[in-house]
Amino acid sequence: MRFVEISKPLVTKIISESFLLEAKNTHMEHLEDNIFNKGYAGAKEAVDYLYSLHQMLDGHGKSKMDMTIKWDGAPALVCGKDPQTGKFFVGTKGVFAGKAKLNFTEKDIEENHADRGENSGEGLRVKLRLALKTLGKLNWDTVAQGDMMFMKGDIKEISYDGIQYIMFKPNTLAYAVPKDSDLAKQMLSAEIGMVWHTEYSGGPTLADTSASFGFDASRLGDGSNAGVWQTDANIKNLAGTVTMTAEESAEVLSSIKAADAYTKQIGSDVFNWLQTGNDLVGKEFLQQLKATVNNKVRAGDFGSPESLAKEFVVKWIDKATKDIDKVKMQKTKDVKIEKMVKTVAFIKEHVKEITAVYDLYLMLIKSKIIVMRKIANLQTTQTFAQEGDDFVPTSGEGFVAIDRLGNAIKLVDRMEFSRLNFGTGKPGA
């Protein structure tokens, strides 16, 4: 195993999510995907997020945005004092399922996370048992969600260019910390490493609680006596930490204004049409369009708006053809063929609209990346992606900004992190 061209990319990731207060933190959406998820309102919301982020980085006035940090850990753990019983529990996101899997004892872990077929759950059970043993010693008065970063046995020591590092790889990304640093010493003395980011409050049951992004880890006390290294995802203060020059500010603002103007130019009808479709295409139209965009990410090339529209037509025909081939009765086949022909004609008639929306999609990404690169100065460790036996420097997963209502949007360099996530970067791949 060797490291290639060590640098200091971002380990932290700022993430923004939509309407988090009323939902469980089980999935985050990309800023640019707002134009698909919420139509015209989502497009304007994405632009507003960018304006607020610019204001925050520019240092003028009070920003409407808070920022948090997210590390690329696994698994996601939910734990704390059960609102119903008052007892400490650990679990995965499955605690919010219809049949909640709360683990109060090791016996619960064995029963709730039994092996299924050839897929062994022992790895997860080991982590849950350790979490139950260590995290239960913290000062719990609520329920919190966080990412497990490491167990003691996960930390490796490596040497590069005469410097000793410790390294751990909980998920897609690998993290390296100079061995002689205070941070490394704290991690090496711990049995488990956690980063907290979400709190659940209310009740009377866990299913009834509401999520709020941002959790102060100091509320849990000093974890060192419990064998816990912990931190939270909150950025306490950006003032004086991340600032822009006049030229950088102008570049960001110009990019955002262009996206804003183009949103208004496209108009609400096009976005609403994408969301609702019509009797011919329905909601499947939007789902397929988003799938085509994800294919671009996997391929490592967003391409042009024109190429996206053409690819979308090809993908639609391919999917429709497969559906037709599954049908045995010729009469039914004929009906499906007729619909496919009409649908393709419909899509081609609206290529202009599809192209315009994807053009805006790329504009939002451009503005987002400019902002992300400025925040990347908030690096605390070195971040790497595994490619074969090599580890190459990469930026973090992304970023998240939360407005004053608790709404948050995910900011991710999809051409980098999402591609890695779709690919072979995960443990065991």
pLDDT at site 350: 78
Q: What are phi and psi of 151, to 5 degrees?
A: -105, 165
pLDDT at site 302: 83
Global confidence as pTM: 0.63
d(CA 416, CA 397) in angstroms, rounded, equals 8
CB 83 within 8 A of CB 203: yes
How many Cα neighbours within 13 Å face the side chain of 260? 12
Tens place of pLDDT per residue across the chain (429 aa): 333 332 333 223 322 222 233 344 445 678 888 888 888 888 998 898 888 888 877 765 455 566 666 677 899 999 999 999 999 999 998 898 878 889 999 999 999 988 765 445 678 999 999 999 999 999 999 999 999 999 999 999 877 667 788 989 888 777 788 899 999 999 999 999 999 988 999 878 898 898 887 789 999 999 999 999 998 877 655 545 566 778 888 888 898 999 999 998 888 887 777 776 666 666 677 778 888 887 887 777 888 888 888 888 888 888 888 989 998 899 999 988 888 888 888 778 878 888 888 889 888 888 888 877 777 655 555 665 666 666 665 555 555 666 655 666 666 676 665 545 544 444 333
Which residue from 81, 206, 192 is spatially nearest to 131, judged by alpha carbons?
192
Q: Burial letters for 398-414: b for 16+ Cβ neighbours within 10 Å, e otherwise? A: bbbbbbeebbbbbbbbb
pLDDT at site 400: 61
Distances (CA, A) of 190 to 24, 127, 252: 29, 14, 42
Q: What are phi and psi of 200, to 5 degrees?
A: -120, 125
Residues sharing a CB contact under 8 Å with residue 26, sequence separation 6 or more, in sequence order = 93, 96
Q: H or E element: which one contains 195? A: strand 192-201
pLDDT at site 356: 87
d(CA 197, CA 90) in angstroms, rounded, equals 16
CB 403 within 8 A of CB 64: yes
d(CA 174, CA 321) in angstroms, rounded, equals 42
d(CA 327, CA 73) in angstroms, rounded, equals 44
**SS3 category, 86:** coil
Total Cβ atoms within 10 A of residue 1: 10
pLDDT at site 150: 96
Full DSSP string of 200-250: EE--SSGGG-EEEE---GGGG--GGGGTEEEEESB----TTTS---HHHHH
162: left (phi over 0), alpha (psi -120 to 50) or beta: left
pLDDT at site 396: 53
Q: H or E element: which one contains 323? A: helix 305-326
